[in-house]
Amino acid sequence: MTQVLTVSCKLKVSQSQAAKLDATLEAFGQALNWVNQNTPEKVANAVKLQSLCYREIRARFGLSSNLAQQVCRRLAGARKVAQQKNRPVKTFKGGFATYDARIFSFREKDWTVSLTTVEGRERFELAIGRYQRERLAGSNPKSATLVKRKDGSYSIQICVEAEPSPPQRTGRVLGVDLGRTDIAHTSEGDNWNGQQLNKVRDHYSKLRAALQRKASKGTRSSRRRCRQLLQRLSGKERRFQVWVNHRISKAIVSRAKATNSAIALEDLTGIRERVNQQPRSKAERRRANSWAFYQLRQFLEYKARVAGVSLILVPPAYTSQACHKCLHIHPDPAQSYRSGKKFKCGHCGWEGDADLNGANVIALLGAAVNQPRGSGLFCSLVEQSRLRATESPLRTALAVGVG
């Protein structure tokens, strides 16, 4: 299956070229908002939008034929996403324009790109490093997005299609336990502690609350300034999360690649809705909901695909309650062998870090999926089931998975 990666490259732009790019971005943004306001909200088909307003877009905003078509495609895509979330597309902020192969081209011999503007075709040199060169070398990209940054610089986000490396065949599995105390903890003992992250997130929360209080009072100019600061703060916190998740996912995939291991993760789909039904304080609810675990999973998925590392999703039930040594779960459903960060098994006596234990249980489940013909667990589990009347659901699942 072809994988699409986005490579962000800074453009070297002269003063005359900057004026042409600004005019193009301004016209593209105005056209988007005009089409959005002057076409029925339910129309989310690019061809239908084009039939309604293509000529008007070209006449009003001076865009080329293909840029006018890109306006319709961009709005159609935004409306489809908005309809899934049951909310309308309000407005576009501008500062970007989308391109396809007819109005964008990349040339590797001199590392330049050619873009269509409202004043004709222009060629720009790329200011890129080793990572971008490795990703672009030998590629034939067919789409890109032109973006103007807040500092006034321009970049082109090039979509590169590549065949991912075939997943390596291995019997080793690296389990990864995700959580709040430790953002991620692997079955090999590597962990990324969440205490420092919680301090940063609590700082943003307090600052956001103070600005929101001020935004509801004071003069009109002070309220406007507070709203601007809130918007900047939101972007800063989001970028911090992305940076941390990139670092964690890169380290995990690199370790799995170096040890010839697959990666096993809990499938936490819908966990936020389930956890929110439990009674918790406002601060606990905010801390649980504010970290982007799904984003971390997405980063792990695409980095693993590029590296040729298999990624396995396992059910999360009982992974934090079972002992990875004997697969025993506390017989009383109201109790657990886990207490905070500590885990002490009442059956085999193993004692250690609870997140490390959970990561090892996830690794066992991943091995059961990765080796359907047998992971070496079945015989021991059958013997244990004979000796103990109480059979844990996790042990049964493992026995079924590897039998």
Q: Dihedral through CA 370, CA 371, CA 373, CA 377, nearest 10?
A: -120
Q: Which two tokens stand for residue 265?
A: 């993760």
User: Which one, of 402, 262, 390, lies nearest residue 326 by Cα?
Assistant: 390
User: What pLDDT sits at residue 215?
Assistant: 78
Residue range 323-334: mean pLDDT, rounded = 86
- Strands 3-12 and 120-127, by their bridges, are antiparallel
User: What pLDDT digit, counting tens, does each position of 192-250 carry?
Assistant: 887 777 777 778 778 888 888 777 777 778 888 888 888 777 777 788 888 889 999 99
User: What pLDDT sits at residue 285?
Assistant: 59
User: What pLDDT digit, counting tens, does each position of 96-147 carry?
Assistant: 999 999 999 999 999 999 999 999 999 999 999 999 999 999 999 999 999 9
Residue 335 has a CB neighbour count (10 Å cut-off) of 11
Q: Please answer whether residues 254 and 309 qualify as being in contact, where contact means their C-beta atoms are separated by less than 8 angstroms.
A: no
Indicate the residue type of 106. F
In the three-class reduction of DSSP (H, G, I as helix; E, B as strand; rest coil), residue 259 is classed as: coil
The C-alpha angle with vertex 272 and arms to 266 and 273, in degrees rounded to 5, equals 125
Report the range of poorest mean pLDDT among 77-91, 233-247, 298-312: 233-247
Q: Please answer whether residues 189 and 333 qualify as being in contact, where contact means their C-beta atoms are separated by less than 8 angstroms.
A: no
Q: How far apart are CA 6 and CA 156, in angstroms?
A: 10
Q: Has this prediction a pTM greater than 0.75?
A: no
Query: Would the pLDDT of 391 be above 80?
Result: no
**What is the share, in percent, of the chain residues with pLDDT greater than 70?**
86
